[in-house]
């Protein structure tokens, strides 16, 4: 499995309009330079990330190549899983963290959890709990000295749903590791036992 990175001038132009920031050819050239920096950092860990996501989720990858668009601006951080889009952060490490988060979403795709219905959580919280369980484990392996285990420092999470998912994933982390269940079965177990309501 591999990621191929692209910088789309029209895509960046449109995202810039949404946040009232201009995007011109000079910005495009700068983003192309940042793309090369990201590619260099990503290649060192790419195989590890794909292997570990599959190992921890116990879900096979659907494709061999994932195409990722890189953007400078956007609303709500702009990193999304479909189409795979990553906002270039100030440093390569944070961009890589965002990419890992979105790749986990792609591996887990919503169908995996479609029959699991929590009573009191909305879908954003529920679907992010397994993402953060896998994400935290991979980041601790890749960046053991990095105290910030999430893609952005906690204070940048303005969305309370993500914060709730992070807190729940931290609470369930040890139980998940001991269970040796695939992530879908673990989430079902948590629902059945009332650990997630």
Per-residue pLDDT at 120:
72
Print burial letters for 110-133: b (CB count within 10 Å at least 16), e (below 16).
Answer: eebbeeeebeebeeebbbbbbbbb
Distance from C-alpha of 134 to C-alpha of 125, rounded to nearest angstrom: 15
CA distance 88 to 34: 8
Q: Which residues of the chain carry a pLDDT beneath 50?
A: 151-155
What pLDDT score does 148 carry? 57
| 159-178 pLDDT tens trace | 678 888 888 898 999 999 89
What pLDDT, on a 0 to 100 scale, did the predictor assign at position 166?
86
Token output for 141: 């392996």
pLDDT at 74: 62
Query: How do 80-81 and 84-87 pair as beta strands?
Result: antiparallel
Q: How far apart are alpha carbons 114 and 177 in whole angstroms? A: 23
Beta strand segments in the chain, E: 2-6, 65-71, 80-81, 84-87
Give this prediction's pTM.
0.89
Q: Give pLDDT, residue 76.
A: 58
How far does CA 81 lie from the centroid of its chain?
A: 7
List Cβ<8 Å contacts ≥24 apart for 179-185: 182/57, 182/58, 182/59, 183/56, 183/57, 183/58, 183/59, 183/108, 183/112, 183/130, 183/133, 183/134, 184/57, 184/59, 184/112, 184/113, 184/116, 184/130
Quote the tokens at residue 101: 């988060």
pLDDT at residue 77, rounded to an integer: 62
pLDDT value, residue 1: 92
d(CA 12, CA 184): 35
d(CA 38, CA 32): 10
């Amino acid at each position: 499995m591999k990621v191929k990175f692209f910088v789309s001038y029209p895509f960046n132009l449109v995202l810039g309009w949404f946040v009232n920031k201009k995007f011109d050819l000079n910005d495009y050239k700068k983003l192309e330079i940042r793309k090369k920096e990201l590619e260099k950092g990503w290649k060192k860990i790419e195989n590890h990330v794909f292997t570990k996501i599959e190992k921890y989720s116990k879900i096979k990858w659907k494709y061999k190549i994932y195409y990722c668009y890189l953007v400078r601006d956007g609303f709500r951080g702009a990193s999304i899983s479909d189409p795979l889009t990553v906002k270039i952060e100030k440093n390569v490490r944070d961009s890589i963290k965002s990419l890992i988060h979105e790749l986990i979403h792609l591996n887990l795709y919503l169908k995996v959890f479609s029959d699991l219905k929590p009573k009191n959580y909305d879908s954003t919280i529920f679907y992010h709990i397994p993402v953060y369980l896998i994400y935290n484990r991979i980041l601790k392996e890749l960046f053991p000295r990095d105290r910030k285990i999430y893609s952005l420092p906690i204070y940048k999470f303005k969305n309370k749903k993500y914060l709730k998912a992070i807190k729940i994933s931290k609470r369930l982390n040890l139980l998940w590791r001991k269970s040796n269940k695939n992530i879908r079965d673990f989430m079902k177990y948590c629902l059945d036992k009332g650990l997630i309501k």
